[in-house]
Amino acid sequence: MSENRGKFNSRIGFILAAAGSAVGLGNIWGFPTQAAGNGGAAFVLMYLILAFCLAYPAFMAELIIGRHGQANAVESLKKISNSALQKKFAFIVGFGGILCAGLLMSFYSIVAGWMVAYTVEPITTTLGATDISTWLKSHSTSRNLLFTFIFCSLTILIISRGVSDGIEKWSKRLMPALVFLLVALTAYVLTLDGAMEGLKAYLVPDMARLFEPALIVDALGQAFFSLSLGTSVIIIYGSYVSKQENLVSLGAYVTLIDVSIAFLAGLLVIPAMYVAAANGVQIFNESGALIDGDQLVLTVLPALFDTMGSVGVFVAFAFFALMSIASLTSSISMLEAPVSYTVERFSISRKKATLLMGALIFATSSLIIFNFDLLFVFVINLTTKYGQPIIGMLCCIFVGWIWSRSSLLEELKQGNEEAENQFFWKIWPWYTKLVCPLAIAIVFINSIL
């Protein structure tokens, strides 16, 4: 089995693919809006602390399980289990993560479909096709179905090509494009009237809010979602990493890129809101808070682009292209989770498995689209509020309590001879054993109460 498995061909290939999974709508949409609603820089500060102190250790736990197992999430977890009972537990956690990834993709691709539709809209508007433009911006079932289908098909096309020819190659193309668009848009928006006020709102912390429980819960949830934890995705990507690589630094690079891009997205989106306000667009709701969620991305920002005249057409196109690219590099990782399992468990070809899983996920998305009010928020909560924290916590328990310390160290030493004497090894095992599961449990219980 392992001879036929895919593999990342280069260090940079893995970093860009894992960062591609991490950097998505969560960074460019979720992070700035959460910061806007949670005291600006106070949220940013707490996010940075939690991302490095809790999410990074949990990320390392999943990465190392995968690299050791060199197989899909279920098999990798089974490999570190010692008894029949633990192997059953491994199946539940691994399969739960795969299910979570598939369900995540079913709502994520609907939102990503909106982003693709909004990328096409400036083009149809420029061509004078007003009816099509109105339809593209409508919340109709037909629009949602078509663009979710287009987005799922793109994801299927990339995943069917495999690890190095699909995931790695496309991450290497799409991630630089994403960074370029983000930097260019930020630089442009920061020159506009009103941007400095937005910058102040984003960067001057309201320290009184730093330890608010709601802010901490939001920040940890955001860090978990952003690093793609609790979905088995990082286990799978870890399983494609060569034994010569130093996992500690690989994980740190991915976390750093993810956090930096979220921070940069805040420098774009929050000042853009204040520019919109300077142009007469309403950016505060009735209770005086900044408008967030879908209203921010689908109403406030397009209204801003409309006030910019002909430049606005390019800016709108670039912004939604950026969103679409970020979604695509994340969704390919979501689809890889069930595909790798199906290929290895049922010994079928990658193409067949990709089509099968892609079709299943699109069918679930369609179900959500047809029952939008009932299912959309439900599936989001089920996966991000419950699934990801629980499975992420269980992965830490696997590494901290089930996997033998000597075997864990042996794995870590591959590609990093000095691991045993490094600061990371002195603190991380305790972190994954006690701090991470406990902190995640506390935050999780807090969030559901």
Binding site for ligand PFF (CB under 6 A): 21-22, 24-27, 101, 104, 225-226, 228, 231, 233, 330, 333-334
- Output 18 or 408, the one with its CB closest to ligand PFF: 18
The nearer residue to ligand PFF, 25 or 195, going by C-beta atoms, is 25
Q: Which long-range CB contacts under 8 A does 279-288 form with residues at least 24 apart?
A: 279/193, 279/194, 279/304, 279/307, 279/308, 280/307, 281/307
Structure token pair of residue 72? 């899909």
- Cα separation, 353 vs 17, whole angstroms: 21
Tell me how far, at minimum, the Cβ of 131 lies from ligand PFF, in Å.
32
Helix 41-50 to helix 213-226 angle (10° resolution) is 60
Q: Which residue has the tokens 């160290």?
A: 409
Q: Judged by CB, which is closer to ligand PFF: 25, or 321?
A: 25
Closest separation between CB of residue 407 and ligand PFF, Å? 26
For the chain, how big is the Rg over CA atoms in Å?
Answer: 21
What's the CA gap between 136 and 114, in Å, rounded? 8
Q: How far is the CB of 399 from ligand PFF (least distance, A)?
A: 18
Q: Do the Cβ atoms of 272 and 198 come closer than 8 Å?
A: yes
